[in-house]
Amino acid sequence: MIFENTLSFARKMDRNDSLKKFRTQFHIPKVKGKTALYFTGNSLGLQPKSTKKFIDQELTDWAKLGVEGHFHAKRPWLSYHKFTKKALAQIVGARPSEVVAMNQLTVNLHLMMVSFYKPTAKRYKLIVESGAFPSDQYAFESQVKFHGLNPDDAIVELKPRDGETKIRTEDIVNTINQHGNTVALVLIGAVQYYTGQFFNIKKITETAHAVGAYAGFDCAHAVGNVELDLHKNNVDFAVWCSYKYLNSGAGGIAGAFVHDRHANNNALPRFAGWWGHHEGERFQMKKGFIPMPGVDGWQLSNFPVLSGAAHLASLEIFQAAGIKNLRKKSILLTGFLESLLNDIDKEGKHFTVFTPKNVKERGCQLSIAVKHDGKKVFTKLTKAGVIADWREPGVIRVAPVPLYNTFEDVFLFSEILKKALAK
C-alpha cells in the first residue's frame, strides 16, 4: 500500500473502512471538551457503549432473583464462563474447549507455571525474553525460587544483539537448542509490551518441543491485536488479560488457553478449586478433585459475573468485527502511522521507532524513542489532546486500535507530534 501523507487521504481511508461503524460503539474520552486522540488501547481499551447494558442486566437479575440468578438469570451465572468461549476461541485461534475466562493475568500465569514448569535436577531452565513485563518477571523469579532453584541459574533471558532492539528468531532458536534438554519451559510475551515485537509463535513452539520443553505465551499485548492461532501453532498454554485490546474494563477478568492435547492429562500437577471440578458433581461437596476436561479444569473460583458481563459486551463486538478483518485494518492503520512518522523525521534527528518494521513482527503498537526532551514532547502531546503512553527514559508508545481509531486520528497525531518536536 502506498500511503499519501495527507488529511484527505486519511479521510478517504476512513470512508472506505468496512469496520468504521465500530468506532461509534465506544465511548471516546474527551480532553478539554474535544474528542481525544486515544492511542492507549494497549494499556486500557475503551468502554463499549453496550457494557452498561450487560452489567445492568446482571444487577437487575441479582436484585430480582438473588441466589436464584445462578439458574434463572438471563445468562445463568452458574454457566456464565461458557458464554465467553466461542468469541475467545475465535480471537486466539483455538477450540472453545481450550479457552476459559478466569482470574487475573498474573494469577493465571502462576497457575499455568504450576502445571507446565516442573523442573527436575536435569531439566529446570526457564527461557524468557529479557525485559519482560515486571509482573511476569516476579512470577518467573518466585516460581523458580518456589522450586528451590536459583533464578540466576535457572532463568535464561533472550536478548537482542548489541545495537538492536528486536530479538531475532534465529537467536531464540539457537538459545533454546544450546540449552537443549536442560530446558523445562519457554515462556514469552507473544507481543512484547515495550518494543511491540510480535514473536514467531510457531517457530518458538516447534523449537521448544524439539528439545522436549513446553512452550507458553503471555498474550497480554497480543490478544485482540494480532492473530495467534494458538491451537494450530501447537502452543501448550497461553494467558492474557482483557482490559487492554479486549476492552473489558480495568482489572477485568483474564483468560487462559490450554491445548487440547493436555485436556485429559490428569497427571499435570495443578492448584485446584471447586470451579475446576467435574461439573456434574461440583455441588455434591465430595472429597477428591476430579478436573473437568480441558482448560476448564484449571478454574478455581466461581465466575465473577459483573466483570464477566463487561467482558461479554466487548467480546460480542469482536465477534461482529472478526479478528482477521481487524488485523487487516490494523496493518494499514499502523503502516500509515509509520509512514507519517518517517516523513516527519526523515533523517532520524528527533526519534527512532524501535518496533520491528516487518508487519509480521508487530501488532498495532509503535514504540517511539525520543532523542531529546522526550518528556516535554510528551507533555505537549497530552496538552493537545493526545492520550498516549509514556515510559522512562524517553519512550512514547502509540497504539492505533482498528476497532475505534481512524486514519484521521493517526494523521492528526502526526501533525501534533510534528509541532511538538519543533523548537
The backbone torsions φ and ψ at residue 344, rounded to the nearest 5 degrees and listed phi first, read: -65, -35
Q: Using alpha carbons only, give the angle 91, 12, 20 rounded to the nearest 5 degrees.
A: 30
> In whole angstroms, how close is the CB of 42 to ligand PLP at the nearest point?
8
106 binds ligand PLP (CB under 6 A): yes
Residues in contact with ligand PLP, shown as a per-residue x/- string from 238 to 277 under the rule CB under 6 A: ---x------------------------------------
Nearer to ligand PLP, 19 or 220 (CB): 220
| Interface region with ligand PLP, contact rule CB under 6 A, candidates 92-100, 128-136, 354-362, 409-417 | 128-136
Is residue 204 within the footprint of ligand PLP (CB under 6 A)? no
Q: Has 393 been labeled as part of a binding site?
A: no
Q: Smallest distance from the beta carbon of 380 to ligand PLP, in angstroms?
A: 27
Q: Which amino acid is at 100?
A: V
Q: Coil, strand or helix: which one is 189?
A: strand
Measured from the CB atom, is 211 or 220 closer to ligand PLP? 220
Q: Is 133 annotated as a binding residue?
A: yes
Q: Positive or negative, the Cα torsion across 218, 392, 385, 251?
A: positive
Q: Which of 218, 236, 296, 409 binds ligand PLP (CB under 6 A)?
A: 218
* DSSP codes of every residue in 370-412: ESS-HHHHHHHHHHTTEE-EEETTTEEEEB--TTT--HHHHHH
Closest approach of ligand PLP to the CB of residue 390, in Å: 16
Residue 302 annotated as lining a ligand binding site: yes
- Provide, rounded to whole angstroms, the least separation between the CB of residue 109 and ligand PLP: 7
- Residue 179 exposed, middle or buried by CB count within 10 Å (0-12, 13-18, 19+): middle
Pairwise CA distance, residues 315 & 93, whole Å: 14
> Looking at 69-77, 120-128, 133-141, 291-299, which segment touches ligand PLP (CB under 6 A)?
133-141
137 binds ligand PLP (CB under 6 A): no
User: Taking contact as CB under 6 A, which single stretch among the options 158-166, 218-226, 298-306, 332-340 is the one that binds ligand PLP?
Assistant: 218-226
Q: At 270, which helix (H) or strand (E)?
A: none
Of 76-84, 102-110, 288-296, 364-372, the segment contacting ligand PLP by CB under 6 A is 102-110
Instruction: Indicate which single residue of 140, 193, 275, 407 sits in contact with ligand PLP (rule: CB under 6 A).
Output: 193
Note whether 409 binds ligand PLP by CB under 6 A.
no
Q: Which stretch binds ligand PLP (CB under 6 A): 15-23, 151-159, 216-224, 351-359?
A: 216-224
Q: Which of 119, 131, 189, 276 binds ligand PLP (CB under 6 A)?
A: 189
On whether the CB atoms of residues 403 and 23 are closer than 8 A, the answer is: yes
If you compute the radius of gyration of the chain from its CA atoms, what whole number of angstroms results? 22
Contact map string, positions 46 to 85, toward ligand PLP, x by CB under 6 A: ----------------------------------------
247/51 Cα distance (integer angstroms)? 10
Assess contact for 238 and 203: CB atoms under 8 A: no
CA-to-CA distance for 274 and 257, rounded, in angstroms? Answer: 19
- List, in order, residues 6 or more apart from 168 with CB less than 8 Å away: 160, 161
For residues 132 and 128, give the distance between their C-alpha atoms in angstroms, rounded to a whole number.
Answer: 8
The amino acid present at 398, given as its one-letter code, is V
Joined grid coordinates for residue 75: 445468562
Stretch that binds ligand PLP, among 51-59, 215-223, 321-329, 379-387 (CB under 6 A): 215-223
Q: Which is nearer to ligand PLP, 13 or 239 (CB)?
A: 239
Instruction: Name the DSSP letter for residue 211.
Output: T
CA distance 265 to 390: 44
The answer to the question of residue 220 lying near ligand PLP (CB under 6 A) is yes
**DSSP H stretches of helix in 100-231:** 105-116, 134-146, 151-154, 169-179, 201-210
Assess contact for 308 and 246: CB atoms under 8 A. Answer: no
Nearer to ligand PLP, 242 or 330 (CB): 242
Taking the least distance from each CB to ligand PLP, the nearer of 255 and 385 is: 255
Amino acid identity of 33? G
User: Which of 5, 90, 135, 137 touches ligand PLP (CB under 6 A)?
Assistant: 135
Cα-based distances in Å from 359 to 260, 282, 332, 368: 30, 46, 10, 16
Residue 105 is labelled as binding a ligand: yes
Q: Compare residues 84 and 182 and give the one whose CB is closer to ligand PLP.
A: 84
Residue from 80, 133, 217, 413 touching ligand PLP (CB under 6 A): that is 133
Q: Is 409 within any annotated ligand binding site?
A: no
DSSP string, 237-256: EEEE-SSSTT---TT---EE
Summarize the annotated binding site for pyridoxal 5'-phosphate as residue ranges. 105-106, 133-136, 218, 221, 243, 274, 302
Q: Which residues bind ligand PLP (CB under 6 A)?
A: 104-106, 133, 135-136, 189, 193, 218, 220-221, 241
